[in-house]
Amino acid sequence: MAKPPEEEHPIKAFGWAARDTSGHLSPFNISRRASGEEDVRFKVLYCGICHSDLHSIKNEWGFSKYPLVPGHEIVGEVTEVGSKVEKVKVGDKVGVGCMVGACHNCDSCANDLENYCPKLILTYNGIYYDGTMTYGGYSDSMVANQRYIVRIPDGFPLDSAAPLLCAGITVYSPLKYFGLGEHGKHIAIVGLGGLGHVAVKFAKAMGCKVTVISTSPNKKAEAFEHLGADSFLVSRDQAELQAAMGTFDGIIDTVSAGHPIMPLLGLLKSHGKLIMVGAPSEPLEIPVFSLLIGRKTVAGSGIGGMKETQEMIDFAAKHNIKADIEVIPMDYVNKAMERLEKADVRYRFVIDIGNTLAATKP
C-alpha cells in the first residue's frame, strides 16, 4: 500500500498543494529523501510563480497528478551536500529550475540537453527514479542531484533571479540556438509578460534591435522607457503591422493564449524564424503557404539544458538582467493565481518562502 506523502521519505517538509482541478492551494505536509552522495539539500528562500504552475494546478494540460506541489523557479541556501558533491558547498546560494532528473544515457543527455530527454523528470508533477512523486518549490526545502543545481552568482538578488530559472532560460536558449541573439539582428518579442519582458532584456544585452509586439497599447511606454525596446507594434493595428512586413530576422512568441500566427509570419524576412515558447492549451493554425513564400521556419523551444541554464544565469548576472517581480507572502498565492490568469502582474510573482511559509502551518 502506498505511503502518504509525508511518510514516503525520512525528511519532513512542508508546502502548499493543489488537491484537485479547482487549483486551490492550501498547506500540505510532504517529505524529502535523505541526501545521497551526489545530492544537494537547500532551504528554499524564494519561488517564482510560472504560468505553467497555473496550467498544472488546474490540469489544463491533462497530465496533472494530485496532490500537486508546484514551483520550478526555486532559489535558496545550501544546508547539506553529499560526499561526492564538488559543485557547491554549504552556505552557497543555488537554484533548481524545471527538471531534477533524466536518463543520462541518450543523445540529448550526452549533449547537455537533458530538457529534451525522453525520460526527463520534472521538478514537480513528475515521477522520480524511486517511483515517488516530485514536489516543487512551494515548500520549505528541496533536495536535488548536483547535476540539476544552478549556482547563483554572488551578489545576484535571489528574488529576481528565481524567475530566470524558467522564464530566463526559456527565452535565452532559442535566442542562442537559432542564431537570433546576434549583434544587429532585428528581433520581435510577442507578448510583454513574464517571458516577454526578460526576452527583451536578453536580446538587448546580446546587441539585437528589439521590437515588442503586444495587444496592449498601454504597454508602449513601459517597453521603451523601462525595458529599452527600440520599437513597438500593436498587434491589432493593421496599419502598423503592414508597415513592418518583412522586417524581422526572427520572432520569439511568448504568448500562452490562442492567437493567429499568419500575421506574424508576414512580419518575417525571407528565411526568418518564428519561435514558439508560450504553450497555448489549444492547437494553433499554421498557414503553410505563408511558410513557402520566403522559406520561413516555425519552431518551438523548451527551456534549456543544465549547462546552458548556468551559462544563462551567469550572463544575466554579468549584464544585470533581472526579472521584474512582485514579491508576495505564501498565503497570497491563490489571489496571485487569479491575478495571473488575468495577466495582472508586472511581470512575475515571486513567493517569499523563507519569511512567510512557516507562519501558514496549521
> Residue 221 — φ and ψ, nearest 5°?
-60, -40
- The pLDDT score that the predictor gives to residue 296 is 97
Q: Are residues 55 and 86 in the same domain?
A: yes
Model confidence pLDDT, tens digit, residues 252-293: 999 988 899 999 999 999 999 999 999 887 888 888 999 999
Q: In terms of domains, do 61 and 19 share one?
A: yes
Q: Three-state SS for 15?
A: strand
Count of structural domains within the chain: 2
pLDDT at position 1 is 59
Closest of 157, 8, 117, 10 to residue 69, by C-alpha: 8
65 found inside a domain = yes
User: For position 64, which CATH number holds?
Assistant: 3.90.180.10
Surface-to-core class of residue 192, CB atoms within 10 Å of its CB (0-12 exposed, 13-18 middle, 19+ buried): buried
Same domain? 77 vs 39? yes
> Residue 266's domain spans which residues?
168-300
Exposed/middle/buried for residue 208 (C-beta within 10 Å: 0-12, 13-18, 19+): buried
How many CB atoms are located within 10 Å of the residue 88 CB?
Answer: 18
Residues 143 and 172 in one domain: no
CATH number of the domain where residue 214 is located: 3.40.50.720
Same domain as 121, residue 16: yes
| H or E, element range at 251 | strand 248-253
Q: Could you tell me if 86 and 191 lie in one domain?
A: no
Instruction: Return the DSSP state at 104.
Output: S
- pLDDT category at 362 given cuts 50, 70, 90 is confident
Q: Helices 306-318 and 194-205 sit at what angle, rounded to 10 degrees? A: 70
Helix H or strand E encompassing 11: strand 11-18
Q: Is 316 a member of any domain?
A: no
**Nearest to 240, CA basis, from 213, 270, 273:** 213
List pLDDT tens digits, range 85-142.
999 999 999 999 999 999 999 999 999 999 999 999 999 999 999 999 999 999 999 9
Whether 15 and 153 map to the same domain: the answer is: yes
Kindly report, residue by residue over 199-243, the tens digit of the pLDDT: 999 999 999 999 999 998 999 999 999 999 999 999 999 999 999
CA distance 37 to 340: 39
Residue 58 and residue 114 in one domain: yes
Residues 119 and 181 in one domain: no
pTM to 2 decimals?
Answer: 0.95
